[in-house]
A and B are shown apart, each in its own frame.
Chain A
Amino acid sequence: MAEVRNSKKACTVNALKMSQPIGGALAFMGLNGAMPLLHGSQGCTSFGLVLFVRHFREAIPMQTTAMSEVATVLGGLENVEQAIVNIAKRAKPEVIGICSTGVTETKGDDVDGYIKLIRDKHPELDDIAIVYVSTPDFKDAFQDGWARTVTRIVDELVETAAPEAPRTQKRINVLPGCHLTPGDLYEIRDIVESFGLEPVFLPDLSGSVDGRIPDEFTPTTLGGISVKEVATLGTSAWTIAVGEQMRAAAEALEKKAGVPFTLYDRLTGLAPNDDLIALLARLSGRPVPEKWRRQRSQLVDAMLDGHFFFGNKRIAIGASPDLLWSVSSFLTEMGCNIEAAVTTTHGPLLGQIETDEVLIGDLEDLEERAEGCDLLITHSHGRQAAERLGIPFFRMGLPMFDRLGAAHQTTVGYRGTRDLVFEIGNIFIANAHEPDTETWRQTAEVSDDTGSAFAAH
């Protein structure tokens, strides 16, 4: 059990957090034919764009209402209108997803009101879905922006279904949190499909920014869930939400269309995946495919082989709440001690993390607390801290701009968890302190002597 505290500092040093609107924009990128639009000054969009381009190594669609100093004072109706009209003309999107920013929230622009006026004036926009989310920069963080946007998409785009309306028994909605990568979504898709079920993801980044050669060039997203599919989510048999952040969206979907849901606070680790497989077996009425029995046993074996190296390791983690929960819970289950946990925003599970304190703070806080740890886990911005501390560094989360394959890092499912055991375990092995005549008395750790590991089997 941890005490959740806010950092008392006035100055944020080496931010861990990113802003809400770009979390929202990323959620919109999981829709097909989408153009995310930040309602604010051009710089906000430019920074977000660069961040995603560096992370995904893809061209990223994102636009701005380009509010000038004068426009921020007068209000942004004209800018929102021009932006929508221009985007409609140039990019021909299926959906425009608008997120507000600090600039426009300070003035208090009534964007929902603007959209009504714009719709009345421009019937040519009737075929384009427009969803607006309020995401002020000076409140909350990236994960909140993502979660709020998905909830809004459900509210705005899912069609209400009568409770007794027929359900597509085979179709399962999946609402992934922002901490899941496109690779994670592929893994979940595989798992769900293996039971003869049809998963639909909202948002679906695995369709849009999954690092592949596209079939076509478009200025909007290509791939992801279509607006039409979103409309029918209410007729699915079940919803699986991944990450506590998705609770609101799952509840909204249940309320609107009566789709029951199961929320997994994480899908990294043995037990949560057992639960998922059991649920899918129940929903599909099919036996658990051989593939998962085998992979489960591989994970169990990996945990056995790995536990020598994980036991009592001191870990420092900086991540948004759901990723922090997922990684720290799993590492605790592997025998690690979470020495430092820093996060970006509030979350209901933070108090349950097995560590003394969870701090809502920055990477300076994490660096202070990570001294003497065996491993630092955070996004790429932790690289300077890891270097100064001289401890191994494992990158998780967004942004990951100094490594290849950020979109494919997979840590869910039996297989994803198994690979995570290998990746982190190998870091421990590579950094094990070889005892020498000076230190052997203090070194009681298992080194990379796999002979003894096998012997213990």
Chain B
Amino acid sequence: MSSLANKVQDVFNEPGCAKNQGKSDKERKKGCTKQLQPGGAAGGCAFDGAKIALQPITDVAHLVHGPIACEGNSWDNRGAKSSGSRLYRTSFTTDINETDVVFGGEKHLFKSIKEILDKYDPPAVFVYQTCVPAMIGDDIGAVCKAATEKFGKPVVPVISPGFVGPKNLGNKLAGEALLDHVIGTGEPEYTTPYDINIIGEYNLAGELWQVKPLLDELGIRILSCISGDAKYHEVASSHRAKAAMMVCSKAMINIARKMEERYDIPFFEGSFYGIGDMSDSLREIARLLIEKGADPELMDRTEAVIEREEARAWERIAPYKERLTGKKVLLITGGVKSWSVVAALQEAGMELVGTSVKKSTKEDKDKIKELMGQDAHMIEDMTPREMFKMLSDAQADIMLSGGRSQFIALKAKMPWLDINQERHHAFAGYEGMVDLVREIDKALSNPIWDQVRKPAPWDDGQESWEARALAEAEAEAAAIAADPVLAEEMRRSTQICNCKTVDTGTIEDAIKADHLTTVKEVTAATNAGGGCTGCHERIAGILSALAATKAEAREADHG
């Protein structure tokens, strides 16, 4: 097994990753080789994920070793902000050509590293492996080692060629690169009992800066953020932190866990999204620091800040209540941020519709996260017309979702707000939630909606394309209902597990053939449920439905 394969295996065995807890040994091994569905897949590659995770380190030169596709089509497309160096926004790629493909690209890579060091003098170069050089056997680990020795500057190999898997695998492989080559190689100028790391925060749209002033006020120092607005030296000396917060996405769990193991840095999983979550996170940071020796009065100061900020935030949200009360929001987003957002929207008087989330009692929190994660997956899988149908069925006033559904919403003349990665607005901390409510209000109260929804005077309203699209969707549904064979086929082809693209039929067949009785077994047999685990509920549903029919059949037999 190659060293990359070992790495991938290692990452999949991550014990701190909740996703893995439900997996059998067999499934874990399969994890890395599982096929995506050709013609039905969406989403970035592992290289994309690695770059997302590391590029926010601002003073490093990020060099992509591969053909122009990997970097040329994608650079400068993310919103991570920097308070210092801009080098991270300069794009470097070897742009390998046919000759490199035939004779190998290692020399080309080595020369590129030298050029970068000569011209830009960064504290370090990160070299990203991509598919083609991986296929032709370029050993970038060896090239980086040689370059480090020759030039006396750290040159870090990030081995995550796109074809090993999806984005989130790339996040983790990026984490491994930091653990292997960067973290622990530097020393901070001084340390304090109030030093923390924030792991998995990328400072998109400057979100970290909505949080940092509060930490500053409390005397808590971000020794290193991994990786938003970070400098190389900070990451290199991050092992001296007293505690860490892992920002709620499993993206960099391996860093958090391994740093705990190696350097005794305890961590917790938290979020900066939402007023309640923000407060919880501040408390957790204070608690961990106190546990590690900080003065317990830190907690009193933290509580005071929380009380002040919460009151201020609610007070600032209140004026919007009048206009927003009763407005219906269709919220579709991945699990991590949703819960927090839900609370703020409800506080502003809005109602959630159309998603699996109806009300938000704290006890349901995890379940809601799970359900919303599933919704977010579902929408990625929908055809545009289905999405439109869902929009009009929901009768929502505004849709909040990731970028993918933006144009469907807008073409349907539905107010829309981006709460995903590429957004331009920062929604973190207390400040961020107020901003979110303000943005929703701004979108809803814009005077364009009435104008754009009015048909042209010469157009017969009945004949509008919206009406037609809905009629067609209904006709399709009717056709399916009238044809039992087709209906069955449609039912069986409904995707259950979106991460691993497994449909109902496959799961049912496996359950019947192997007499499976638990979700675990289903996952082992079909891979379904081996990703974000959001579909476990649905798999359980299928299990019990089949068990019921079987029982009925037995009864019928006996009777």
Contact = CB atoms under 8 A, between A and B. Distances in A.
B97 A139 contact: yes
A17 B68 CA distance: 7
Nearest to B131: A103
A102 interface: yes
Contact of B44 (A42, A71, A90): A42
Given A137-B67, A217-B408, A381 B35 contact: no
A12 B108 CA distance: 11
Contact of A68 (B69, B95, B163): B163
Nearest to A7: B95
B388 interface: yes
A141 interface: yes
B67 A90 contact: no
B132 A42 contact: no
A17 B95 CA distance: 10
Interface string A37-77: 10011111011111101100111000111111111110000
A19 B90 contact: no
Given A90-B383, A217-B383, A138 B39 contact: no
Interface string A74-99: 00000110111111001100000000
Contacts, number: 224
A70 B132 contact: no
Contact of A141 (B38, B68, B90, B472): B68
A54 B89 CA distance: 18
A217 B92 contact: no
Given A82-B38, A87-B39, A102-B67, A46 B93 contact: no
Contacts of B95: 12, 15, 17
A213 B44 contact: no
A79 B40 CA distance: 11
A54 B93 CA distance: 22
B469 A43 contact: no
Nearest to A58: B407
Interface in A316-365: none
Contacts of A245: none
Interface residues on B, range: 35 or more
Given A86-B38, A137-B68, A217-B384, A67 B101 contact: no
Contacts of B94: 10-12
Interface in B158-178: 161-164, 166
A145 to B, nearest CB: 11
Contacts of A137: 67-69, 132
A50 B69 contact: no
Nearest to B75: A15
B115 interface: yes
B76 interface: yes
Interface string B408-429: 1001010000000000000000
Contacts of B407: 53, 57-59
B45 A41 contact: yes
A209 B485 CA distance: 37
Nearest to A69: B163
Nearest to B162: A43
A54 B77 contact: yes
A107 B135 CA distance: 8
A40 B70 CA distance: 12
A138 B67 contact: yes
A169 interface: no
Interface residues on A, range: 35 or more
B73 interface: yes
Contacts of B403: 53
Given A14-B90, A42-B162, A384-B90, A51 B468 contact: no
B219 interface: no
Interface string B99-129: 0110000001001111110010000000000
Interface string B427-451: 0000000000000000000000000
Interface in A215-241: 215-219
Contacts of B114: 10
B163 A13 contact: no
A-B CB proximity, top 3 nearest: A43-B45, A83-B39, A86-B39
Given A11-B93, A13-B119, A138-B132, 18 more contacts: A10-B115, A11-B94, A11-B111, A13-B116, A41-B45, A41-B131, A42-B166, A43-B162, A46-B45, A59-B407, A69-B161, A72-B163, A85-B39, A102-B131, A106-B101, A107-B135, A138-B100, A214-B411
28 contacts: A11-B94, A13-B90, A14-B75, A18-B68, A22-B69, A41-B45, A41-B131, A46-B42, A46-B43, A51-B74, A59-B408, A65-B38, A66-B37, A66-B38, A69-B164, A83-B39, A84-B39, A102-B69, A102-B101, A137-B68, A137-B132, A138-B67, A138-B132, A139-B98, A214-B411, A216-B468, A218-B385, A219-B385
